[in-house]
């Protein structure tokens, strides 16, 4: 018979044959790794009370790696933000220059007889 524990973990509670002490020890080791121990009556698995709660509190503290990766992500975000902002203004400049050329400079230069090309306009 298998007993399902939280998060889909299954631990067998079937008593193995007399020749498989190694298998019993393996099952108990798996249960301890998951924070469980055999109940006093030997029929169910119960959480280990004292040491597992202290171990969980230690694991919840941020490590140096997590803090440094947060700082790295923040720096990367700022750098990407600045690059996107610079690209926005460069594109805005060209869009405005092309708009001014097609609606003002181009028609006026054609009507006056002194044609100014877009390349000449942008190079000035």
Distance CA 121, CA 99 (A): 12
SS in 3 state form for 62-75?
CCHHHHHHHHHHHH
State the pLDDT at residue 52.
46
- How many Cβ atoms sit within 10 Å of the Cβ of residue 31? 20
- The domain segmentation of the chain, as residue ranges, is 2-60, 64-123
Q: In this structure, are residues 2 and 10 in contact, taking their beta carbons and an 8 Å threshold? A: yes
State the pLDDT at residue 43.
81
Q: Is 11 helix (H, G, I), strand (E, B) or coil?
A: strand
Distance CA 97, CA 42 (A): 82
pTM: 0.43
**Cβ-proximal residues to 23 (8 Å cutoff; 6+ apart), any chain:** 16
* Tens digit of each residue's pLDDT, the chain (124 residues): 555 555 555 666 666 555 577 787 788 888 888 888 878 887 888 888 755 455 555 555 656 667 778 888 899 999 999 999 999 999 999 999 999 999 998 899 889 888 888 888 888 7
Quick one: which H or E segment has residue 4?
A: strand 2-5
The sign of the dihedral angle between the CA atoms of 15, 17, 23, 25 is positive
């Amino acid at each position: 018979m298998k007993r399902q524990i939280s998060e889909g973990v299954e631990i067998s509670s079937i008593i193995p044959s007399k020749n498989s002490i190694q298998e019993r020890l393996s099952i108990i080791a798996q249960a301890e790794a998951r924070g469980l121990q055999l109940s006093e009556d030997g029929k169910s698995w119960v959480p280990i009370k004292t040491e597992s709660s202290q171990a969980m509190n230690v694991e919840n503290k941020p490590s140096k790696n997590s803090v440094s990766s947060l700082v790295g992500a923040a720096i990367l975000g700022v750098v990407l933000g600045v690059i996107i902002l610079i690209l926005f203004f460069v594109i805005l400049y060209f869009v405005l220059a092309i708009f001014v050329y097609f609606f003002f400079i181009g028609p006026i230069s054609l009507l006056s007889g002194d044609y100014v090309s877009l390349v000449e306009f942008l190079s000035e």
